[in-house]
Structure 1
Amino acid sequence: MILLRNATTGNRGAGRTPLDWDSRLNISLGAARGIAHVHSEGGAKFIHGNIKSSNILLRGGLDGCVSDFGLSPLMNHTHIKHRVAGYRAPEVIEMRKATQKSDVYSFGVLLLEILTGKSPLQYTGYDDVVDLPRWVRSVVREEWTAEVFDMELMRYQNIEEELVQMLQIALSCVTKVHDNRPNMDEVVRMIEEIRHPELENRLSSEDNRSKDSNVNTP
C-alpha cells in the first residue's frame, strides 16, 4: 500500500506517475465510505479524530482506506494538535471539542488537498501550516475557480463539471459552523452522484414512474 499524501502532494519529480481524476474520485469515495462506516458503528460516539492524507492508504486498485482509527484518545492533546494541524476544525482549535462534524471538516480539507495538489501541512515542521480552506475560498471569491485545481488534472478533458461538483462538496464540509456541515452519509451520497449521475437520474425516473402508477385515476 502507498500513502495518499505521497501520491498527490508528495515528491513530483521525474518518474512519478500522477493520479488521474478517476483515481482521485475513487479514492475520495472509498475514504468517505470508510469514515461514514466508523461514524455509523458507534452512533454519535465514534470519532476518528485524525483524518489526513498520510492516514489514507491506497490499495492496488487505488481504493482509499482509512487508517489510524482509535489512536487519538491514546495521545495527549499537544501531540494530536501537531499531528492534525491544518486539518482541524475551528471548534477543535478553539474549544478542543471533537465531534463527527469535526471529522467532516477534516475530510473536506482532504478533498481540497486531492483537488488542488496542495497540502495543508508543509512537512518541513508541523508548525508550518497552510489554511487551505481559506486559500480556496479566496480564489473562488475572486472568480478564479479554475486556478484552484491541480495542474496535473488540467490535462484531462471533460471533467471540469465534476471538479466543480467535488469542490462544492469540499467547501460544504469545511464551513465554519459545524451544524451546517453535511454528515458523512450525505457526503458519500453526493460523491456517488458525481461518479454515477446516470444511475441517479435513472433511479429518479423510476421512482417518478412508480409514483405515477400508484395514482388513482378518476
Structure 2
Amino acid sequence: MSGIPHGNIKSTNVLLDKDGAARVADFGLALLLSPAHAIARLGGYMAPEQADNKRLSQEADVYSFGVLVLEALTGKVPAQHPQPLPDADTQRRDKKSATAVSLPEWVRSVVREEWTAEVFDVELLRYRNIEEEMVAMLHVALACVAQQPEQRPSMGDVVRMIESVPVDQSPMPEEDRDVSVTSPSIGITTDDGDGRLSSY
C-alpha cells in the first residue's frame, strides 16, 4: 500500500468495475491542488483536524472512509444533520433548538441514546439476516471516525476488520418485513472527542 494519502475519499469517487469490484478514483489529484483547495473538496468527509492544519494524511483518509461507510449504512449524506433531542416533548416544543452536526456526530448521538433502529437505512433492514454484519460494519466505521487521528486504525487494520465480518451470501430482501420493529442490539465503544472511550 502506498504511503501517499488519497486526499479525496468520498462516495462519488468509488466506482465499480465490470466485475462489481470497488475502485477508488481521483487518486493523486489532491496532490496537484493547494492544500486548502484539496481540503475544501472534502466537505462532510473532512477529518476534524483538517479544519485546522489543512493537511492531507492517511489518518484523514481513514476518517473519510469511515464517513463513507456511515453514509452507506445510514442512507444519509455526510452533510449537517439535526442532533436528536432528549425527548419527544422537547422535540415538539422547539424543533429549531436542534443543532446541526456532522454524520459521525449524528450516528454517535443516536447510538448513545440507544435508538439503534434509527441509525440504519430502512432499505438495508429489508434484507434478512444481515443485522450482525450491519452492526459489525458500524463498529468499523465508528473506529475510523474517532476524533483523534492517533486513535483511528490504519487502513490495513480496517481491511482486516472488514474481512473478518461474517457475510451471508444471499440476504434476499423480505418484502413483507416490518422494518419499524427491527432493532439490532449494539454494544459500541466510541470516542467522545476528548480521547476517552465510552460504551453504549
Same fold per TM (> 0.5)? yes
Query: Is the aligned partner of 1:135 residue 2:106?
Result: yes
Once superposed, which parts of structure 1, at least 4 consecutive aligned residues long, lie more than 6 Å away?
none
Q: Which residue of structure 2 aligns with residue 79 of structure 1?
A: 37
1:91 and 2:49 are equivalent in the alignment: yes
On the 8 A contact 1:86/1:130 being kept in 2, the answer is no
Residue 98 of structure 1 and its aligned partner are, at CA, apart by 2.2
Query: In the alignment, which residue of structure 2 is the partner of 1:145?
Result: 116
Q: Is the 8 A contact 2:14 2:23 kept in 1?
A: yes
AA matched with 1:76 = S
RMSD of aligned C-alpha atoms? Answer: 1.9
Task: Say which structure is richer in strand.
Answer: 2
Name 2:62's counterpart in structure 1. 104
What is the correspondence of 1:27-66 to structure 2 with a 5 Å cutoff? Answer: 40-42=1-3, 46-66=4-24
Do the aligned partners of 1:133 and 1:171 also contact (CA within 8 Å) in 2? yes
Deviation sequence 1:52-97 (CA, Å, 0-9, x none) = 0000001233221101010002123443233211101111112113
Report the TM-score when normalising by structure 1. 0.64
1:130 Cα deviation from its structure 2 partner: 6.1
| Number of aligned positions between the proteins | 149
User: How far apart, in 2, do the equivalents of 1:50 and 1:165 lie?
Assistant: 25
SS in 2 for 1:169: helix
Q: Which has the larger radius of gyration?
A: 1
Q: TM-score, normalised by structure 2?
A: 0.69
**Does residue 171 in structure 1 map to residue 132 in structure 2?**
no
- Find the aligned partners of 1:130 and 1:51 in 2 and give their Cα distance: 20
The amino acid of 1:192's aligned partner reads: E
- Matched residue of 1:57: which SS? strand
User: What is the alpha-carbon distance in structure 2 between the residues aligned to residue 47 and residue 75 of structure 1?
Assistant: 13
Alignment gaps of 5+ in structure 1 = 1-39, 123-128, 198-218
How far apart in 2 are the matches of 1:98 and 1:87? 12
Structure 2, unaligned stretches of length 5 or more? 81-99, 169-200
Alignment-mate amino acid for residue 132 of structure 1: L
Shift of residue 99, structure 1, vs aligned partner: 1.3
Counting aligned pairs with the same residue, the percent is: 56
Distance across 2 between alignment mates of 1:110 and 1:86: 10
**Cα gap change, 1:49/1:95 in structure 2, threshold over 3 Å: closer, same or farther?**
same
The answer to whether residue 53 in structure 2 is matched with residue 67 in structure 1 is: no
SS in structure 1 opposite 2:108? helix
- Kindly provide the CA deviation profile for residues 99-156 of structure 1, in whole angstroms up to 9, marking residues without a partner as x: 111110000000001111111148xxxxxx9610001001000001121111111111
